[in-house]
Chain A
Amino acid sequence: MNIIVCIKQVPDTTEVKINPETGTLIREGVPSIINPFDTYAIEEGLRLKEKFGGKVTVISMGPPQAMEALKEAVAMGADEAILLSDKAFAGSDTWATAYTLSQAIKKLGEFDLILCGKQAIDGDTGQVGPGIARQLGISQLTYVFKIRHLDPESRTIVVERLLEEGREVVETKLPALLTVVKDINQPRYPTFLGIRRATRMQIPVWGAADLPGADSSKFGLKGSPTQVVRVFNPPKREGKVEIIQADSVDEAASILADKLLAEKVI
Chain B
Amino acid sequence: MPLLEINKEECTGCGACVSVCPFGALSLVDNIATVDDKCTACGACLDVCPVNALSLPERPEAAAEDLKAYQGVWVWVEQFQGEACSISWEMVGKGRELANQRGTILTACVLGHNVGHIAKQAIAYGADRVFWVDDPTLAVYRTQPYANVLVELVRQYKPEIFILGASSRGRDLAGSVATELYTGLTADCTGLDIDPETNLLRQTRPAFGGNIMATIICPNYRPQMATVRHRVFEMPVPDENRQGQIIPIKPNLSEDQIATKVVDFIRQQGEVNLADAKIIVSGGRGVGGPEGFEPLRELAEVLGGAVGASRAAVDAGWIPYAHQVGQTGRTVRPDLYIACGISGAVQHLAGMGTAKIIVAINKDPEAPIFSVANYGIVGDLFQIVPALTEQFKKKLRR
Q: Which residues of A contact B237 (CB under 8 A)?
A: none
Q: Are A231 and B214 in contact (CB under 8 A)?
A: yes
Given contacts A13-B327, A124-B208, contact A260 B60 (CB under 8 A): no
B44 within 8 A of A: yes
Contact with B179, one of A130, A217, A250, A266 (Cβ below 8 angstroms): A130
When C-beta atoms are compared, the residue in chain B nearest to A254 turns out to be B391
Q: Are A134 and B147 in contact (CB under 8 A)?
A: yes
B-facing mask of A35-66, CB < 8 A → 1, else 0? 01100000000000000000000000001110
Contact with A234, one of B182, B211, B262, B374 (Cβ below 8 angstroms): B211
Q: Which residues of A contact B41 (CB under 8 A)?
A: 90-91, 221
B-facing mask of A59-94, CB < 8 A → 1, else 0? 000011100000000000000000001110011011
Distance of A229 from chain B, by nearest CB (Å): 5
Q: Are B168 and A161 in contact (CB under 8 A)?
A: yes
Q: Scan residues 134-157 of chain A and give those whose CB is less than 8 A from a CB of chain B.
A: 134-135, 139-143, 145
Q: Are A93 and B24 in contact (CB under 8 A)?
A: no
A166 within 8 A of B: yes
Contact with A124, one of B143, B209, B324, B347 (Cβ below 8 angstroms): B209
> For B179, B353, B375, B392, which residue has the most chain A Cβ atoms within 10 angstroms?
B179
A252 within 8 A of B: yes
Distance of B232 from chain A, by nearest CB (Å): 14
Q: Are A253 and B179 in contact (CB under 8 A)?
A: no
Given contacts A30-B24, A124-B208, A171-B263, contact A164 B168 (CB under 8 A): yes
B28 within 8 A of A: no
Q: Are A27 and B24 in contact (CB under 8 A)?
A: yes
Q: Are B176 and A226 in contact (CB under 8 A)?
A: no
Q: Which residues of B contact A167 (CB under 8 A)?
A: 265-266, 322
Contact with B3, one of A90, A94, A249, A261 (Cβ below 8 angstroms): A90
Given contacts A130-B143, A142-B172, A253-B388, contact A13 B211 (CB under 8 A): yes
Q: Are B217 and A142 in contact (CB under 8 A)?
A: no
Q: Are A11 and B168 in contact (CB under 8 A)?
A: no
Q: Which residues of B contact A93 (CB under 8 A)?
A: 184
Distance of A205 from chain B, by nearest CB (Å): 12
B185 within 8 A of A: yes
Q: Are A139 and B37 in contact (CB under 8 A)?
A: no
A-facing mask of B324-362, CB < 8 A → 1, else 0? 100111000001100000000111000001001111100
Distance of A234 from chain B, by nearest CB (Å): 5
Distance of A167 from chain B, by nearest CB (Å): 4
Inter-chain CA distance A122–B265, complex, in Å, is 31
Q: Are A124 and B206 in contact (CB under 8 A)?
A: yes
Q: Are A230 and B208 in contact (CB under 8 A)?
A: no
Inter-chain CA distance A249–B44, complex, in Å, is 49
Q: Are B172 and A266 in contact (CB under 8 A)?
A: no
Binds B, one of A16-24, A105-113, A187-195: A16-24
Chain B contact residues: over half helix, strand or loop, or mixed? mixed
A225 within 8 A of B: yes
Q: Are A127 and B187 in contact (CB under 8 A)?
A: yes
Q: Scan residues 217-262 of chain A and give those whose CB is less than 8 A from a CB of chain B.
A: 217, 220-222, 224-234, 237, 239, 241-244, 249-250, 252-254, 256-261
Given contacts A16-B208, A142-B168, contact A228 B43 (CB under 8 A): yes
When C-beta atoms are compared, the residue in chain A nearest to B371 turns out to be A241
Given contacts A18-B346, A24-B19, A265-B336, contact A126 B175 (CB under 8 A): yes
Q: Are B176 and A227 in contact (CB under 8 A)?
A: no
When C-beta atoms are compared, the residue in chain A nearest to B144 turns out to be A139
Contact with B384, one of A139, A168, A249 (Cβ below 8 angstroms): A249
A-facing mask of B370-397, CB < 8 A → 1, else 0? 1111111111000110011011100110
Inter-chain CA distance A81–B365, complex, in Å, is 49
Distance of A157 from chain B, by nearest CB (Å): 10
Distance of B186 from chain A, by nearest CB (Å): 6
Chain A contact residues: over half helix, strand or loop, or mixed? mixed
Q: Scan residues 272-304 of chain B and give those whose CB is less than 8 A from a CB of chain A.
A: 273-276, 278-279, 303
Q: Which residues of B contact A98 (CB under 8 A)?
A: 179
Inter-chain CA distance A126–B142, complex, in Å, is 17
Give the number of residues in B that approach A within 8 Å (Cβ atoms): 118
When C-beta atoms are compared, the residue in chain A nearest to B38 turns out to be A63
> For A36, A94, A158, which residue has the most chain B Cβ atoms within 10 angstroms?
A94
Q: Are A141 and B384 in contact (CB under 8 A)?
A: no
Q: Scan residues 166-185 of chain A and give those whose CB is less than 8 A from a CB of chain B.
A: 166-173, 181-183
Inter-chain CA distance A259–B265, complex, in Å, is 40
Contact with A227, one of B3, B175, B219, B356 (Cβ below 8 angstroms): B219
Q: Are B60 and A222 in contact (CB under 8 A)?
A: yes
Q: Are B260 and A249 in contact (CB under 8 A)?
A: no
Contact with B213, one of A171, A234, A259 (Cβ below 8 angstroms): A234
Which of A's residues lie within 8 Å of B, judged by CB?
A: 11, 13-14, 16-18, 24-25, 27-28, 30, 36-37, 63-65, 85-87, 90-91, 93-95, 98, 121-127, 129-131, 133-135, 139-143, 145, 158, 160-173, 181-183, 217, 220-222, 224-234, 237, 239, 241-244, 249-250, 252-254, 256-261, 263, 265-266
Task: List 20 interface pairs A-B (beta carbons < 8 Å), by A numbering.
Answer: A27-B24, A30-B24, A63-B38, A65-B37, A125-B188, A126-B175, A134-B175, A162-B168, A164-B168, A164-B274, A170-B260, A222-B59, A225-B184, A227-B59, A228-B42, A231-B22, A232-B214, A233-B213, A249-B379, A253-B388
The 7 closest A-B pairs by CB, nearest first: A130-B175, A91-B41, A225-B184, A63-B37, A231-B44, A27-B24, A125-B187
Which of B's residues lie within 8 Å of A, judged by CB?
A: 1-3, 19-24, 37-44, 47, 56-57, 59-60, 80, 142-144, 147, 167-169, 171-172, 174-176, 178-180, 182-188, 202, 205-221, 259-268, 273-276, 278-279, 303, 320-322, 324, 327-329, 335-336, 345-347, 353, 356-360, 365, 370-379, 383-384, 387-388, 390-392, 395-396
Besides A142-B171, A170-B260, A261-B395, 17 more A-B contacts (Cβ < 8 Å) are A11-B208, A90-B40, A95-B179, A124-B207, A125-B188, A127-B185, A130-B171, A162-B168, A172-B260, A226-B185, A226-B186, A227-B43, A227-B59, A232-B212, A243-B376, A256-B388, A257-B391
